[in-house]
Amino acid sequence: MMHKIIQCFTRIVLIIALIIPIFNPLTTKAYSDKTIADLREELQKLKDEKARIESSKKLTQDQINAAKNSIFQAQKEQDQIAKDIETAKQKITESEKMIEQLTQETEALLRYFQLTKGDNVYNEYLADATSLKDLIRRLAAVEQITEYSQDTLKKLDDLITENEQLQVELKEKTTELDKKIAETASKMQQLNGQYSEYSEINADIDAQIKNQQEQINYFKQICSSETIPISSCGNSIGNSAGWTKPLAKGTVTSNWGYRIDPITGAASSFHNAVDIGGNPEGTNIYAAAAGRVSNIDYKTSCGGNIVYIHTMVNGVKYTMQYAHMLSVKVNKGDMVTTSTVIGTVGGGRSTYWDHCSTGAHLHFGISKGYYGIDYSSWNSFLANSIKPPGYPSKGIWWYSR
Protein backbone atom coordinates (compact mmCIF):
# COMPACT_ATOMS: atom_id res chain seq x y z
CA MET A 1 0.00 0.00 0.00
CA MET A 2 2.80 2.39 0.98
CA HIS A 3 4.63 1.51 -2.25
CA LYS A 4 1.57 2.52 -4.29
CA ILE A 5 1.26 5.81 -2.36
CA ILE A 6 4.93 6.63 -2.98
CA GLN A 7 4.58 5.68 -6.65
CA CYS A 8 1.49 7.91 -7.01
CA PHE A 9 3.25 10.80 -5.27
CA THR A 10 6.25 10.38 -7.58
CA ARG A 11 3.98 10.56 -10.63
CA ILE A 12 2.28 13.70 -9.34
CA VAL A 13 5.66 15.36 -8.78
CA LEU A 14 6.72 14.35 -12.31
CA ILE A 15 3.58 15.83 -13.86
CA ILE A 16 3.94 19.07 -11.89
CA ALA A 17 7.61 19.30 -12.85
CA LEU A 18 6.72 18.89 -16.50
CA ILE A 19 3.68 21.14 -16.57
CA ILE A 20 5.05 24.10 -14.60
CA PRO A 21 7.43 25.19 -17.42
CA ILE A 22 4.48 25.18 -19.82
CA PHE A 23 2.41 27.59 -17.77
CA ASN A 24 5.18 29.91 -16.71
CA PRO A 25 4.06 33.25 -18.15
CA LEU A 26 6.23 34.54 -20.91
CA THR A 27 5.39 38.02 -19.85
CA THR A 28 3.70 39.71 -16.90
CA LYS A 29 1.26 41.40 -19.28
CA ALA A 30 -2.46 40.91 -18.70
CA TYR A 31 -4.05 38.77 -21.39
CA SER A 32 -5.82 41.75 -22.95
CA ASP A 33 -2.52 43.66 -23.21
CA LYS A 34 -0.77 40.90 -25.15
CA THR A 35 -0.14 41.16 -28.85
CA ILE A 36 -0.17 38.57 -31.60
CA ALA A 37 3.62 38.66 -31.42
CA ASP A 38 3.39 37.70 -27.72
CA LEU A 39 1.06 34.83 -28.62
CA ARG A 40 3.51 33.64 -31.27
CA GLU A 41 6.30 33.65 -28.69
CA GLU A 42 4.15 31.62 -26.31
CA LEU A 43 3.31 29.22 -29.15
CA GLN A 44 7.01 28.67 -29.81
CA LYS A 45 7.54 28.02 -26.12
CA LEU A 46 4.83 25.37 -26.20
CA LYS A 47 6.45 23.76 -29.24
CA ASP A 48 9.85 23.76 -27.51
CA GLU A 49 8.27 22.15 -24.46
CA LYS A 50 6.62 19.53 -26.67
CA ALA A 51 10.02 18.73 -28.22
CA ARG A 52 11.55 18.38 -24.75
CA ILE A 53 8.84 16.00 -23.60
CA GLU A 54 9.09 14.03 -26.84
CA SER A 55 12.80 13.60 -26.14
CA SER A 56 12.07 12.43 -22.57
CA LYS A 57 9.37 10.14 -23.92
CA LYS A 58 11.80 8.59 -26.41
CA LEU A 59 14.42 8.10 -23.69
CA THR A 60 11.82 6.39 -21.51
CA GLN A 61 10.81 4.12 -24.41
CA ASP A 62 14.48 3.20 -24.92
CA GLN A 63 14.70 2.31 -21.21
CA ILE A 64 11.54 0.21 -21.50
CA ASN A 65 12.98 -1.63 -24.50
CA ALA A 66 16.25 -2.23 -22.61
CA ALA A 67 14.30 -3.59 -19.62
CA LYS A 68 12.28 -5.88 -21.89
CA ASN A 69 15.49 -7.17 -23.48
CA SER A 70 17.06 -7.73 -20.04
CA ILE A 71 14.06 -9.79 -18.95
CA PHE A 72 14.13 -11.74 -22.22
CA GLN A 73 17.84 -12.56 -21.82
CA ALA A 74 17.36 -13.57 -18.19
CA GLN A 75 14.50 -15.87 -19.16
CA LYS A 76 16.65 -17.40 -21.91
CA GLU A 77 19.39 -17.97 -19.36
CA GLN A 78 16.88 -19.58 -17.00
CA ASP A 79 15.74 -21.92 -19.77
CA GLN A 80 19.37 -22.95 -20.39
CA ILE A 81 19.94 -23.47 -16.65
CA ALA A 82 16.87 -25.73 -16.50
CA LYS A 83 18.36 -27.79 -19.34
CA ASP A 84 21.77 -27.88 -17.58
CA ILE A 85 20.12 -29.09 -14.37
CA GLU A 86 18.40 -31.91 -16.27
CA THR A 87 21.73 -32.84 -17.93
CA ALA A 88 23.45 -32.89 -14.52
CA LYS A 89 20.70 -35.13 -13.13
CA GLN A 90 21.14 -37.53 -16.05
CA LYS A 91 24.90 -37.64 -15.47
CA ILE A 92 24.34 -38.39 -11.80
CA THR A 93 21.95 -41.22 -12.69
CA GLU A 94 24.39 -42.64 -15.25
CA SER A 95 27.31 -42.36 -12.80
CA GLU A 96 25.34 -44.08 -10.06
CA LYS A 97 24.54 -46.95 -12.43
CA MET A 98 28.23 -47.26 -13.41
CA ILE A 99 29.27 -47.24 -9.74
CA GLU A 100 26.79 -49.96 -8.99
CA GLN A 101 28.04 -52.02 -11.97
CA LEU A 102 31.74 -51.56 -11.12
CA THR A 103 31.06 -52.37 -7.48
CA GLN A 104 29.44 -55.65 -8.49
CA GLU A 105 32.32 -56.44 -10.87
CA THR A 106 34.94 -55.67 -8.22
CA GLU A 107 33.14 -57.75 -5.63
CA ALA A 108 32.96 -60.64 -8.11
CA LEU A 109 36.64 -60.23 -8.90
CA LEU A 110 37.56 -60.21 -5.24
CA ARG A 111 35.43 -63.23 -4.60
CA TYR A 112 37.12 -64.98 -7.52
CA PHE A 113 40.57 -64.37 -6.25
CA GLN A 114 39.58 -64.65 -2.61
CA LEU A 115 41.91 -61.78 -1.71
CA THR A 116 40.70 -61.45 1.83
CA LYS A 117 40.76 -65.19 2.69
CA GLY A 118 43.88 -66.45 0.93
CA ASP A 119 41.87 -69.18 -0.79
CA ASN A 120 43.59 -71.94 -2.77
CA VAL A 121 42.08 -70.71 -6.01
CA TYR A 122 44.04 -67.50 -5.66
CA ASN A 123 47.11 -69.44 -4.60
CA GLU A 124 46.71 -71.83 -7.50
CA TYR A 125 46.44 -68.87 -9.89
CA LEU A 126 49.75 -67.59 -8.58
CA ALA A 127 51.27 -71.09 -8.38
CA ASP A 128 50.54 -71.69 -12.03
CA ALA A 129 53.14 -69.08 -12.89
CA THR A 130 55.77 -70.61 -15.14
CA SER A 131 58.48 -68.27 -14.05
CA LEU A 132 59.26 -65.52 -11.58
CA LYS A 133 58.48 -62.98 -14.27
CA ASP A 134 55.10 -64.64 -14.84
CA LEU A 135 54.41 -64.63 -11.10
CA ILE A 136 55.20 -60.91 -10.82
CA ARG A 137 52.96 -60.25 -13.84
CA ARG A 138 50.09 -62.20 -12.27
CA LEU A 139 50.45 -60.38 -8.95
CA ALA A 140 50.55 -57.01 -10.77
CA ALA A 141 47.50 -57.92 -12.84
CA VAL A 142 45.39 -58.62 -9.77
CA GLU A 143 46.62 -55.47 -8.10
CA GLN A 144 45.99 -53.33 -11.23
CA ILE A 145 42.48 -54.70 -11.65
CA THR A 146 41.51 -53.88 -8.11
CA GLU A 147 43.25 -50.49 -8.21
CA TYR A 148 41.58 -49.64 -11.54
CA SER A 149 38.20 -50.48 -10.11
CA GLN A 150 38.80 -48.39 -7.02
CA ASP A 151 40.12 -45.42 -9.07
CA THR A 152 37.15 -45.59 -11.41
CA LEU A 153 34.76 -45.75 -8.49
CA LYS A 154 36.43 -42.68 -6.95
CA LYS A 155 36.23 -40.73 -10.23
CA LEU A 156 32.58 -41.58 -10.62
CA ASP A 157 31.89 -40.63 -7.03
CA ASP A 158 33.69 -37.31 -7.60
CA LEU A 159 31.57 -36.77 -10.73
CA ILE A 160 28.40 -37.29 -8.72
CA THR A 161 29.58 -34.77 -6.12
CA GLU A 162 30.53 -32.32 -8.87
CA ASN A 163 27.12 -32.61 -10.58
CA GLU A 164 25.27 -32.28 -7.29
CA GLN A 165 27.24 -29.10 -6.54
CA LEU A 166 26.49 -27.89 -10.08
CA GLN A 167 22.77 -28.37 -9.45
CA VAL A 168 23.01 -26.31 -6.27
CA GLU A 169 24.88 -23.52 -8.07
CA LEU A 170 22.44 -23.54 -10.98
CA LYS A 171 19.46 -23.34 -8.63
CA GLU A 172 21.09 -20.41 -6.82
CA LYS A 173 21.63 -18.68 -10.17
CA THR A 174 17.99 -19.33 -11.08
CA THR A 175 16.95 -17.66 -7.83
CA GLU A 176 19.18 -14.67 -8.62
CA LEU A 177 17.66 -14.42 -12.11
CA ASP A 178 14.14 -14.60 -10.65
CA LYS A 179 15.03 -11.66 -8.43
CA LYS A 180 16.55 -9.76 -11.35
CA ILE A 181 13.47 -10.37 -13.51
CA ALA A 182 11.14 -9.21 -10.72
CA GLU A 183 13.18 -6.03 -10.13
CA THR A 184 13.38 -5.28 -13.87
CA ALA A 185 9.64 -5.92 -14.29
CA SER A 186 8.91 -3.50 -11.43
CA LYS A 187 11.17 -0.89 -13.02
CA MET A 188 9.51 -1.45 -16.38
CA GLN A 189 6.09 -0.94 -14.79
CA GLN A 190 7.25 2.42 -13.41
CA LEU A 191 8.68 3.33 -16.82
CA ASN A 192 5.39 2.41 -18.51
CA GLY A 193 3.57 4.68 -16.05
CA GLN A 194 6.05 7.46 -16.75
CA TYR A 195 5.64 6.94 -20.50
CA SER A 196 1.84 7.19 -20.16
CA GLU A 197 2.21 10.41 -18.19
CA TYR A 198 4.46 11.87 -20.88
CA SER A 199 1.83 10.90 -23.48
CA GLU A 200 -0.96 12.55 -21.47
CA ILE A 201 1.06 15.74 -20.98
CA ASN A 202 1.98 15.76 -24.64
CA ALA A 203 -1.68 15.42 -25.63
CA ASP A 204 -2.46 18.40 -23.40
CA ILE A 205 0.34 20.42 -25.00
CA ASP A 206 -0.93 19.44 -28.46
CA ALA A 207 -4.35 20.80 -27.51
CA GLN A 208 -2.75 24.00 -26.23
CA ILE A 209 -0.68 24.39 -29.40
CA LYS A 210 -3.78 23.88 -31.53
CA ASN A 211 -5.77 26.40 -29.49
CA GLN A 212 -2.92 28.93 -29.51
CA GLN A 213 -2.57 28.64 -33.27
CA GLU A 214 -6.32 29.08 -33.71
CA GLN A 215 -6.22 32.15 -31.47
CA ILE A 216 -3.40 33.64 -33.53
CA ASN A 217 -5.32 32.94 -36.77
CA TYR A 218 -8.44 34.51 -35.30
CA PHE A 219 -6.69 37.64 -34.07
CA LYS A 220 -4.91 38.01 -37.41
CA GLN A 221 -8.38 38.48 -38.96
CA ILE A 222 -9.53 41.16 -36.53
CA CYS A 223 -6.27 42.96 -35.67
CA SER A 224 -4.66 45.48 -37.99
CA SER A 225 -1.18 44.72 -36.66
CA GLU A 226 0.61 41.98 -34.73
CA THR A 227 2.08 44.52 -32.31
CA ILE A 228 -1.10 46.17 -31.01
CA PRO A 229 -2.89 44.87 -27.84
CA ILE A 230 -5.50 42.28 -28.77
CA SER A 231 -7.99 44.11 -26.54
CA SER A 232 -8.08 46.87 -29.13
CA CYS A 233 -9.01 44.42 -31.90
CA GLY A 234 -12.46 43.32 -32.96
CA ASN A 235 -14.14 46.69 -33.14
CA SER A 236 -15.18 45.87 -36.71
CA ILE A 237 -17.94 43.58 -35.40
CA GLY A 238 -20.45 46.39 -35.51
CA ASN A 239 -23.27 47.28 -33.14
CA SER A 240 -26.65 45.53 -32.78
CA ALA A 241 -29.68 47.37 -31.45
CA GLY A 242 -30.97 44.40 -29.42
CA TRP A 243 -31.25 40.65 -28.97
CA THR A 244 -33.16 38.00 -30.86
CA LYS A 245 -33.74 34.45 -29.73
CA PRO A 246 -31.50 31.64 -31.02
CA LEU A 247 -34.44 29.31 -31.75
CA ALA A 248 -37.67 29.91 -33.68
CA LYS A 249 -39.69 28.39 -30.82
CA GLY A 250 -39.07 26.86 -27.45
CA THR A 251 -39.54 26.99 -23.69
CA VAL A 252 -37.15 27.68 -20.83
CA THR A 253 -36.51 24.41 -18.99
CA SER A 254 -33.86 25.78 -16.62
CA ASN A 255 -33.32 29.42 -15.68
CA TRP A 256 -30.15 31.46 -15.34
CA GLY A 257 -28.81 31.59 -11.75
CA TYR A 258 -28.45 29.19 -8.85
CA ARG A 259 -30.30 25.90 -9.12
CA ILE A 260 -30.17 22.21 -8.19
CA ASP A 261 -27.79 20.62 -10.68
CA PRO A 262 -29.77 18.05 -12.73
CA ILE A 263 -26.66 15.86 -13.15
CA THR A 264 -24.84 16.04 -9.80
CA GLY A 265 -27.76 17.02 -7.56
CA ALA A 266 -25.73 19.91 -6.08
CA ALA A 267 -28.12 22.26 -4.27
CA SER A 268 -26.32 25.53 -5.06
CA SER A 269 -24.99 25.09 -8.56
CA PHE A 270 -24.67 28.29 -10.62
CA HIS A 271 -26.18 28.00 -14.10
CA ASN A 272 -24.73 30.72 -16.36
CA ALA A 273 -27.36 30.35 -19.09
CA VAL A 274 -30.96 29.55 -19.93
CA ASP A 275 -31.71 26.04 -21.14
CA ILE A 276 -34.16 26.07 -24.03
CA GLY A 277 -36.12 22.88 -24.64
CA GLY A 278 -39.08 21.83 -26.74
CA ASN A 279 -37.10 21.18 -29.93
CA PRO A 280 -35.86 17.84 -31.27
CA GLU A 281 -32.21 17.21 -32.03
CA GLY A 282 -31.20 18.68 -35.38
CA THR A 283 -33.30 21.86 -35.01
CA ASN A 284 -31.53 24.93 -36.46
CA ILE A 285 -29.83 27.34 -34.03
CA TYR A 286 -29.32 30.99 -35.06
CA ALA A 287 -27.02 33.77 -33.83
CA ALA A 288 -28.93 35.87 -31.28
CA ALA A 289 -27.00 38.97 -32.44
CA ALA A 290 -24.57 39.83 -35.24
CA GLY A 291 -20.95 39.14 -34.44
CA ARG A 292 -17.88 36.99 -35.07
CA VAL A 293 -17.28 33.37 -34.07
CA SER A 294 -14.44 33.59 -31.54
CA ASN A 295 -13.99 29.97 -30.51
CA ILE A 296 -15.40 26.46 -31.00
CA ASP A 297 -14.97 23.51 -28.64
CA TYR A 298 -15.75 20.16 -30.26
CA LYS A 299 -17.13 17.07 -28.52
CA THR A 300 -16.47 18.15 -24.95
CA SER A 301 -17.58 15.68 -22.26
CA CYS A 302 -19.73 18.31 -20.55
CA GLY A 303 -21.36 20.57 -23.14
CA GLY A 304 -20.77 18.67 -26.35
CA ASN A 305 -20.03 21.03 -29.24
CA ILE A 306 -19.80 24.62 -27.93
CA VAL A 307 -19.68 27.83 -30.01
CA TYR A 308 -18.64 31.26 -28.69
CA ILE A 309 -19.54 34.44 -30.58
CA HIS A 310 -18.35 37.98 -29.86
CA THR A 311 -21.01 40.60 -30.39
CA MET A 312 -21.71 44.23 -29.54
CA VAL A 313 -25.23 45.24 -28.45
CA ASN A 314 -26.07 48.87 -27.73
CA GLY A 315 -22.36 49.69 -27.56
CA VAL A 316 -21.54 46.98 -25.00
CA LYS A 317 -19.27 44.03 -25.78
CA TYR A 318 -20.64 40.54 -25.05
CA THR A 319 -19.74 36.90 -25.65
CA MET A 320 -22.57 34.48 -26.50
CA GLN A 321 -22.23 30.80 -25.62
CA TYR A 322 -24.13 28.00 -27.35
CA ALA A 323 -23.66 24.53 -25.83
CA HIS A 324 -24.96 20.96 -26.30
CA MET A 325 -24.95 21.38 -30.07
CA LEU A 326 -25.36 18.29 -32.20
CA SER A 327 -23.55 19.89 -35.15
CA VAL A 328 -21.66 23.11 -35.88
CA LYS A 329 -22.26 25.01 -39.14
CA VAL A 330 -19.72 27.83 -38.73
CA ASN A 331 -15.96 28.19 -38.42
CA LYS A 332 -13.82 30.19 -36.08
CA GLY A 333 -13.49 33.75 -37.37
CA ASP A 334 -16.75 33.68 -39.38
CA MET A 335 -18.90 36.81 -39.34
CA VAL A 336 -22.54 35.96 -38.52
CA THR A 337 -25.88 37.71 -38.58
CA THR A 338 -29.15 36.89 -36.85
CA SER A 339 -30.14 34.84 -39.89
CA THR A 340 -27.00 32.68 -39.82
CA VAL A 341 -27.54 29.04 -38.83
CA ILE A 342 -24.61 28.37 -36.49
CA GLY A 343 -25.51 24.76 -35.71
CA THR A 344 -28.23 22.37 -34.56
CA VAL A 345 -29.77 21.33 -31.24
CA GLY A 346 -28.17 18.36 -29.48
CA GLY A 347 -28.08 17.09 -25.91
CA GLY A 348 -30.51 14.26 -26.55
CA ARG A 349 -27.92 11.60 -25.72
CA SER A 350 -27.57 10.49 -29.33
CA THR A 351 -23.86 11.31 -29.02
CA TYR A 352 -21.42 9.41 -26.81
CA TRP A 353 -19.34 12.40 -25.73
CA ASP A 354 -21.84 14.78 -24.06
CA HIS A 355 -22.51 13.53 -20.52
CA CYS A 356 -23.95 16.73 -19.00
CA SER A 357 -27.37 16.71 -20.58
CA THR A 358 -30.65 15.03 -19.64
CA GLY A 359 -32.41 15.71 -22.95
CA ALA A 360 -32.39 17.66 -26.21
CA HIS A 361 -31.96 21.38 -25.50
CA LEU A 362 -29.79 24.44 -26.16
CA HIS A 363 -27.71 25.97 -23.38
CA PHE A 364 -27.59 29.70 -24.24
CA GLY A 365 -25.46 32.03 -22.14
CA ILE A 366 -24.25 35.63 -22.35
CA SER A 367 -21.27 37.22 -20.59
CA LYS A 368 -20.05 40.81 -20.74
CA GLY A 369 -16.75 41.44 -22.52
CA TYR A 370 -14.97 39.43 -25.17
CA TYR A 371 -14.04 36.05 -23.75
CA GLY A 372 -10.54 35.29 -25.07
CA ILE A 373 -9.68 38.95 -25.61
CA ASP A 374 -10.69 40.98 -22.55
CA TYR A 375 -10.10 37.97 -20.29
CA SER A 376 -9.22 34.32 -20.81
CA SER A 377 -10.23 32.47 -17.63
CA TRP A 378 -13.45 30.49 -17.29
CA ASN A 379 -14.05 31.99 -13.84
CA SER A 380 -14.02 35.46 -15.37
CA PHE A 381 -16.51 34.31 -17.99
CA LEU A 382 -18.83 33.07 -15.23
CA ALA A 383 -18.32 36.23 -13.16
CA ASN A 384 -19.33 38.37 -16.15
CA SER A 385 -22.40 36.25 -16.92
CA ILE A 386 -25.75 38.03 -17.26
CA LYS A 387 -29.29 36.73 -17.46
CA PRO A 388 -30.22 36.53 -21.18
CA PRO A 389 -32.92 39.16 -21.68
CA GLY A 390 -36.34 38.74 -23.30
CA TYR A 391 -37.28 35.21 -22.18
CA PRO A 392 -40.64 34.28 -20.64
CA SER A 393 -40.92 32.43 -17.35
CA LYS A 394 -39.94 28.81 -17.11
CA GLY A 395 -42.39 26.51 -18.89
CA ILE A 396 -44.01 29.18 -21.07
CA TRP A 397 -43.63 28.73 -24.84
CA TRP A 398 -42.77 31.28 -27.52
CA TYR A 399 -43.17 30.82 -31.28
CA SER A 400 -41.11 33.58 -32.87
CA ARG A 401 -37.60 34.93 -32.52
Say yes or no: 99 and 166 in one domain: yes
CATH number at 224 reads 1.10.287.2610
Claim to verify: residue 244 and residue 311 sit in the same structural domain: yes
Residues 153 and 253 in one domain: no
Is 194 in the same domain as 321? Answer: no
Could you tell me the maximum CA-CA distance found in the chain, to the nearest angstrom?
147
The residue from 229, 252, 278 where one domain ends is 229
pLDDT digits (tens, 9 = 90+) for 280-332: 999 999 999 999 999 999 998 889 999 999 999 998 999 999 999 999 999 98
Spacing of C-alpha 105 from chain mean position: 72
Q: Is the separation of the CB atoms in 244 and 286 below 8 Å?
A: yes
Are residues 319 and 256 both part of a single domain? yes
322 in any annotated domain? yes
Q: Residue 140 pLDDT > 70, yes or no?
A: no
The answer to whether residue 219 scores a pLDDT higher than 50 is: yes
Q: Is residue 272 part of a domain?
A: yes
Query: pLDDT of 95-122, one tens digit each?
Result: 778 777 776 766 666 666 554 445 555 5
pLDDT in tens, 340-387: 999 999 998 778 888 888 899 999 999 999 998 888 889 999 999 999
For residue 260, give the CATH number of its domain. 2.70.70.10
Residue 243: partners with Cβ closer than 8 Å, 6 or more residues away: 288, 289, 313, 388, 389, 390
pTM to 2 decimal places:
0.54
CA angle 20, 23, 25 (to 5 degrees): 120
- Structural domain including 376 reads 234-398
Q: Which residues of 309-340 are buried (b: 16+ CB within 10 A; e: fewer)?
A: bbbbbeeebbbbbbbbbbbbebebbbbbebeb
Mean pLDDT to the nearest integer, 213-220: 82
| Residue where one domain finishes, among candidates 229, 247, 276 | 229
Total domains in the fold of the chain:
2
pLDDT of amino acid 364: 98
